[in-house]
């Protein structure tokens, strides 16, 4: 068993810096991505490359995934040329956000091939991926968690969520619901104040000194909204996807979510009117359009 050789599939805005951190920590990586430029960047850091998920899973016993949607995760894990077709893989760690249902389905299919699935979504954005300060929410048997914890600590703070597949996903969706809600509510609150003549930068300072502070007011507004760069590193399409998954899972569990339903509708409008590929901080642009104001530093 070679604990220092791992596979990594998905080198996007989150996956690439996570893979780079593992290389910097001394791990030998075999990587795969559909974009040549992403693969080339990791090859330049010393990674080996493979043409398919199956090839990655034939090179390493442990394979990590960082992919954008549940459908892509399902295809990469279980497709004809997916991880399940690899000859060497024993453990697949999914760092993506898929929802608990997909996590359970993938785990069951992999188990039939004697491959263990580890449900380990992350939170903390691109900055957290680069700095190694992500929250890593791990669901798997305790013994497997103990074996993987040292490696995952290179990505951030590692939490044991539970032993059942999907528990990490449930934790991640709950977290992202709160993040999305904070962004929506803070955008409306700031637009309201600006329309009444308040300085948005002063508003943010007051909110951060008071009871209304959140990750939106502490991070997103000062770094990406007030400077009007709108470049925090997560798309509106992915935020809407996470909210949709959250409400679907909540409905299946019999948990009513009145506030979440309204937040999902607002993010749907952001995706439709601003664009799915735009940074999620552009939610402020939609609220500005409706309110007839512009939020920026004086």
Catalogue all structural domains in the chain, each as residue range(s) with its CATH number: 5-163 (3.40.50.720), 170-291 (1.10.1040.10)
Give the model's pLDDT for residue 297: 84
With beta carbons less than 8 A apart as the criterion, state whether 206 and 34 touch: no
Q: Which of 88, 113, 157, 172 is catalytic?
A: 172
Burial of 16 by CB count in 10 Å (0-12 exposed, 13-18 middle, 19+ buried)? buried
Identify the residue whose tokens are 């959140």.
214
Give the model's pLDDT for residue 2: 61
3-state secondary structure of 50: coil
Question: Helix axis angle, 167-195 relative to 200-209, nearest 10°?
Answer: 130
Where the chain has pLDDT below 70, the residues are 1-2
Alpha helices in 25-69 (DSSP H): 36-43, 53-57
Q: Rg of the Cα trace of the chain? A: 20
Q: Is residue 88 annotated as part of the catalytic site, yes or no? A: no
Q: How far apart are the first and last CA of the chain?
A: 59
Nearest to 161 by CA among 176, 139, 185: 139
Identify the residue whose tokens are 């019999």.
254
With beta carbons less than 8 A apart as the criterion, state whether 134 and 122 touch: yes
CA distance 40 to 53: 17
């Amino acid at each position: 068993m070679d604990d220092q050789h791992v596979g990594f599939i998905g080198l996007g805005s989150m996956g690439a810096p996570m893979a780079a951190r593992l290389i910097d920590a001394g791990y030998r990586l075999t990587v795969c991505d559909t974009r040549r430029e992403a693969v080339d960047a990791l090859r330049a850091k010393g990674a080996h490359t493979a043409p398919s998920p199956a090839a990655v899973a034939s090179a390493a016993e442990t394979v990590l995934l960082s992919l954008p949607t549940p459908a892509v995760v399902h295809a990469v894990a279980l497709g004809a040329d997916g991880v399940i077709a690899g000859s060497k893989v024993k453990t697949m760690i999914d760092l993506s956000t898929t929802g608990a249902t997909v996590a359970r389905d993938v785990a069951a299919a992999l188990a039939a091939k004697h491959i263990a699935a580890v449900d380990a979504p992350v939170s903390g954005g691109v900055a957290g991926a680069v700095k190694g300060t992500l929250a890593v929410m791990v669901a798997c048997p305790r013994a497997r968690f103990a074996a993987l914890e040292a490696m995952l600590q290179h990505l951030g703070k590692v939490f044991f969520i539970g032993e059942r597949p999907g528990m990490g996903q449930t934790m991640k969706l709950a977290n992202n619901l709160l993040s999305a809600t904070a962004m929506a509510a803070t955008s409306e609150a700031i637009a309201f104040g600006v329309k009444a003549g308040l300085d948005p930068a002063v508003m943010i300072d007051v909110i951060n000194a008071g009871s209304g502070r959140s990750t939106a007011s502490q991070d997103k507004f000062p770094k990406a909204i007030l400077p009007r760069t709108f470049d925090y590193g997560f798309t509106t399409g992915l935020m809407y996807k996470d909210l949709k998954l959250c409400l679907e899972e909540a409905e299946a569990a019999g948990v009513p979510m009145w506030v979440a339903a309204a937040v999902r509708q607002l993010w749907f409008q952001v995706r439709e009117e601003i664009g799915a590929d735009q940074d999620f901080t552009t939610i402020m642009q939609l609220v500005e359009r409706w309110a007839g104001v512009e939020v920026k530093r004086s």
